[in-house]
Amino acid sequence: MGSMIGASVTRKEDPSLLTGRGSYVDDISPPGTVHMAFVRSPLAHAGIGNIDTKAALERTGVLGVWTAADLAGLPNSRSVPGMERPCLATGKVRFVGEPVAVVVASDRYLAADAAGDVDVDYEPLPACSTTDAALAPGAAPILDGLPGNVAMEQALAADDAEAELSAAAHRLQLQLVNQRCAPVPIEPTACLADWTARGLTLYLTTQAPHHMRNEIATMFGLPQQQVRLVAPDVGGGFGAKASFYPEFLLVSELSRRLGRPVKYIETRSENMMSMVHGRAQAQDIDVGFDDEGHIAALRVRITQDCGAWPDTTGVGLPMLTSFMSGGCYKIPKISPSFRSVVTNTTPVGSYRGAGRPEAAFLIERVMDRVADELGIDPLDVRRRNYIQPGEMPYATQFEGIVYDEANYPALLDRLLEKIDYQALRAEADRRRTDPNAKLLGIGFSTFVEMGGFGPTPLFEQFGFIGGWESANVRLNTDGSAVVSVGTSPHGQGHETAFSQVVSDVLSIPFDKITVLHGDTETVQEGVGTMGSRAMPVGGPAVFKAAGKVRDRAMRIAAHLLEADPDDLELVDGRFQVRGSPDSGIDLTEVAVKSLKPHLLPPDSDLGLADTAHHEPTNLSYPSGAHCCVVEVDRDTGRVDVVRYVAVDDCGKVINPLMARGQIHGGVAQGIAQALLEEVTYDEDGQLTTASVADYLVPSALDLPSYETDHQETLTSFNPLGAKGLGESGATAAPQAVVNAVVDALSHLGVRNIDMPCSPQRVWRAMRDAGSARPSEVST
């Protein structure tokens, strides 16, 4: 049997999903299920006056209407102390879409009708839809007890690096915006609560079932064993389904009160205003460098928009950006600081990359600007600043941020083997003088990000019980295996990938392994899937649990064979004595005999099952080198990605097919951020991208083909050598695209274009810089 780790096997998950036999939350409807709908605020900031529920209550089929006053005593959601969010707006509303009241009816159409019947009086207050507005002197305070609207402020260096910046031969200031994006998993938030005398069962679209179970149990004062939390098939998450939402608490409470299962299915329009947004960061950057482009100092001042209610994860985003602001470069002095600002907008939380894409964008734009300033190639600037492979692991100036094994220069070399950079450059130059040709731009992104979240002291700061992950492996008597994992997938393919790991360790056929996840009743305490942690943290837990079972089976085999365990090897499902393969015993037979105490050494535990946890001693640091080639239409400003090449180092690749899928999907989201997506509010705080008709989620015609490759530099910090890769594409791509767009227009004097580089923005940049048609300049 060949190794399964590294094999492109197709997924175990697919047959049921492809035949319509998946089980998402809305597919589950216990008898008697009733439906919840929200009455949401149409205003961004307003006092709540009278709420008239009479018409709604009179409607046939309506079981009840509740406002905050009716739910007094329900706890707030956990957040920064003093900023905890109530499950319904209390006293005033703070963003468009904030729930004000909740209706339950016998079907979802009636619930929507009744929600429309509820009449709420609002007294409008001045709204702050931007951080500038929220920080302005005299701005209306949004949260009680927070007059300046600053939720958190922190400097991560002893000083502001002014001395080093002043001493540098060159100095450059940049203002960058990492615009607000919506995660838009195709399945919106859904929840179903069934509270019976035995306790509460809650089906959720979540990435962290045990975490949510613990939160809910604490909020209701229930023992944890009376709360069963199930994350069934989950239709994408991208970080946004790691957050706690008030509807989780509400469906539970209303199920308790009504004695019936209560379901809530968010509409897409609601999802656009209710599910956390991501990014929403502005950066003021000051960089000092010498004549050759060596960076001497970097100062970064971050303004993070955290929306109306600071999310536990959301407030920490700029800290992660700060830690990663130096990228894969050896910069002697980095001085980051940030402030997280409350605004009258949807709360901001984690979205694919969560704080690290913002850092990668920042430093990779800096590299291009420094190169431009000095008139040297952007790749030369990168090469001159790279941390070298011999310096790994590399301790950054930030305590606990230690980059693991990688080879940044080799990644770039490998990328350059795939593209003919000189030919592309020559073609770009040629097109500049050909008024009938589209402009060509070449952009690079050589990035490093964080994966493998924990360890525990770090992950505790985001509200989780730990930064470890858990796995249990148990063998049946026919030699098949059941694996329970604490991670909780929402498209990643854990059943397939973890089966590959177990197959290798225990020499069990891939098809005889089942992986369970996402149900707190059957799976031991776990943490969840976020921060590219499933393979670097969950994988080692699976690997260790399988290894413990293997060792136990080995001892039993040795006893039965009257051999020394050290002399045995496990080959093709059979323990055999090294050098004499005729003397051996099948793992299946060992599994049977492990349950016959009279055949075992005295005091043996029965059966072949064991649990393991893996607590990472360090984060992992996936890296890569990406190149994007764009064409820019001179007349319309439309940007087309004509080539996208990605070389990634996620350490050990477990399944190349699925690794490709992860990189593709991440790059797609990164390209979309660069060219299409932006959540916008008007100055009154009205969400102007409240549907997927207005918010541009890319279709197949908007995205290119991708060329991918891997350089496997194993990390020494976990036994699999895996670093994770779910967030790499989204971290790498935005700046590869924007660097390419700016490169295409650089001869016109364009030095920056904010994301998304929409046709209008690009066209304006060309117009403001002078005509893109050289022939027209002279006429």
Partner 1 sequence: MSRHHVRITVNGVAREDEVEARLLLVHYLREVRGLTGTHVGCDTSNCGACTVMLDGQTVKSCSVFAVAADGCEVLTVEGLAVDGQLSPVQQGFQECHGLQCGYCTPGMVISATGLLLENPDPGDTAIREGIEGNLCRCTGYEMIVDSVRWAAEHGGAGAVATGTRGR
Q: Which CB sits closer to partner 1, 85 or 643?
A: 643
> Could you say which DSSP state residue 143 is in?
S
Q: Does 55 bind partner 1 (CB under 8 A)?
A: no
Q: Which residue has the tokens 């393919």?
A: 493
Chain centre distance of CA 577: 47
Q: Which CB sits closer to partner 1, 115 or 428?
A: 115
The whole-angstrom separation of Cα 355 and Cα 358 is 5
Q: Does 693 bind partner 1 (CB under 8 A)?
A: yes
Q: Which CB sits closer to partner 1, 50 or 705?
A: 705
DSSP 633-669: -TTT--EEEEEEEEEEE-BS-S-HHHHHHHHHHHHHH
- Cβ 96 to partner 1, closest distance in Å? 17
The whole-angstrom separation of Cα 305 and Cα 282 is 8
Q: Does 460 bind partner 1 (CB under 8 A)?
A: no
Q: Which CB sits closer to partner 1, 621 or 644?
A: 644
**Cα dihedral angle (759, 760, 762, 764), rounded to 10 degrees?**
150
In the list 235, 531, 622, 685, the residue contacting partner 1 (rule: CB under 8 A) is 235
Residue 312: name the closest of 130, 464, 145, 143 by CA. 464
In the list 326, 455, 665, 734, the residue contacting partner 1 (rule: CB under 8 A) is 665
Q: Does 268 bind partner 1 (CB under 8 A)?
A: yes
Q: Does 609 bind partner 1 (CB under 8 A)?
A: no
Residue 35: name the closest of 267, 264, 269, 254 by CA. 264
The whole-angstrom separation of Cα 91 and Cα 51 is 11
In the list 4, 26, 518, 533, the residue contacting partner 1 (rule: CB under 8 A) is 26
Q: Does 61 bind partner 1 (CB under 8 A)?
A: no
Question: Computed over its alpha carbons, how large is the radius of gyration of the chain?
Answer: 28
The whole-angstrom separation of Cα 619 and Cα 451 is 6
Q: Looking at 167-175, 248-256, 530-538, 661-669, which segment touches partner 1 (CB under 8 A)?
A: 661-669
Q: Looking at 129-137, 394-402, 667-675, 753-761, which segment touches partner 1 (CB under 8 A)?
A: 667-675
Q: Which CB sits closer to partner 1, 121 or 511?
A: 511
Q: Looking at 91-99, 119-127, 341-349, 660-668, which segment touches partner 1 (CB under 8 A)?
A: 660-668
The whole-angstrom separation of Cα 286 and Cα 297 is 8
Q: Which CB sits closer to partner 1, 704 or 770?
A: 704
End-to-end CA distance of the chain: 73
**Cα dihedral angle (735, 738, 740, 746), rounded to 10 degrees?**
-130
Q: Does 646 bind partner 1 (CB under 8 A)?
A: no
In the list 98, 117, 187, 194, the residue contacting partner 1 (rule: CB under 8 A) is 187
Q: Does 530 bind partner 1 (CB under 8 A)?
A: no
Q: Which CB sits closer to partner 1, 316 or 528?
A: 528
In the list 185, 327, 467, 624, the residue contacting partner 1 (rule: CB under 8 A) is 185
Q: In degrees rounded to 5, what are phi and psi of residue 681?
A: -125, 150
Q: Which CB sits closer to partner 1, 12 or 431?
A: 12
Residues 465-504, one symbol each (x = binds partner 1 by CB under 8 A, - = not), give: -------------------------xxxx-----------
**Which residue type is seen at 85?**
R
- Cβ 264 to partner 1, closest distance in Å? 14
In the list 465, 657, 714, 769, the residue contacting partner 1 (rule: CB under 8 A) is 657
Q: Which of residues 109-128 bind partner 1 (CB under 8 A)?
A: 109
Q: Is 454 left (phi over 0), alpha (psi -120 to 50) or beta?
A: beta
H or E element, residue 286: strand 278-289
Q: Does 631 bind partner 1 (CB under 8 A)?
A: no
- Cβ 28 to partner 1, closest distance in Å? 9
Q: Does 24 bind partner 1 (CB under 8 A)?
A: yes
Q: Which CB sits closer to partner 1, 265 or 415?
A: 265
3-state helix, strand, coil in the chain (%, to 5): 35, 25, 40
Q: Is 177 exposed, middle or buried (0-12, 13-18, 19+ CB in 10 A)?
A: middle
Q: In degrees rounded to 5, what are phi and psi of residue 642?
A: -100, -15
Q: Give the Cβ contact number of residue 332 at 10 Å.
A: 14
DSSP 307-323: ESS--TTGGGHHHHHHH
Q: Looking at 168-176, 220-228, 265-273, 380-388, which segment touches partner 1 (CB under 8 A)?
A: 265-273
- Cβ 534 to partner 1, closest distance in Å? 13
| Residues contacting partner 1: total by CB under 8 A | 58
> Could you say which DSSP state residue 516 is in?
E
Q: Which CB sits closer to partner 1, 127 or 535?
A: 535
| C-alpha dist (Å) from residue 517 to 358, 473, 494, 611 | 31, 12, 9, 14
Residues 3-22, one symbol each (x = binds partner 1 by CB under 8 A, - = not), give: -------xx-xxx-xxxxxx
- Cβ 190 to partner 1, closest distance in Å? 10
For partner 1, the binding residues (CB under 8 A) are: 10-11, 13-15, 17-24, 26-27, 29, 108-109, 184-188, 233-236, 238, 265, 267-269, 490-493, 657-658, 660-661, 664-669, 691-693, 697, 699-701, 703-706, 729
